[in-house]
Amino acid sequence: MELAKIEKLLDAYFEGNTSLADEATLRAYFAQDEIAPHLAMYQPMFVGLSAAKEEVSNLEIELPKQKATISNWWYGVAASVVIAIGVAGFMFNEQSNQLTQEEQEALIAFEKTREAMKLMSKNFNQGAEELAHISTFTQTKNKILK
């Protein structure tokens, strides 16, 4: 194999940019007897990885049993209760939104009163502006008479 190719694959391996085929190429190179002297320090690592790949464990693993805290039918009951509360709230809200005839008449009277108050406020403000001019006239008159 080309030494430059192996060095390039080794750099890519340590950066985490190799494919499985590239790693197999590296393992095959380091399994040989003839390795470049400056790459000999990596041989034990790749030989160890190849050996670790072949290891198999015969131990049985027993996972602890999980006890069911809430069975599945409780989820259905909880969902039904939430839906019932939602529907009841919607229906109650619809009934409260419907105004009686008396309430509608009161709202109309309120709007008319509000319009009348706006008109009265506008006229009052105009009168107050004219009073400001009278105040100026009075001050001038007092200066002249003194």
Residue whose token pair is 């027993």:
62
Q: How far is CA 14 from CA 17, 23, 33, 57, 99, in A?
A: 8, 11, 23, 28, 76
In a domain, 68, yes or no: no
**Mean pLDDT value across the chain:** 82
Supply the pLDDT for residue 98.
64
Question: Residue 42 is part of which domain span?
Answer: 3-52
What is the domain count for the chain?
Answer: 2
In a domain, 128, yes or no: yes
In a domain, 75, yes or no: no
In a domain, 27, yes or no: yes
Supply the pLDDT for residue 69.
63
In a domain, 93, yes or no: no
In a domain, 23, yes or no: yes
In a domain, 92, yes or no: no
In a domain, 96, yes or no: no
Contact 32, 3 (CB under 8 A): no
pTM value surpassing 0.75: no
Which of 52, 77, 92 terminates a domain? The answer is 52
- Split at pLDDT 50, 70, 90, the class of 114 is very high
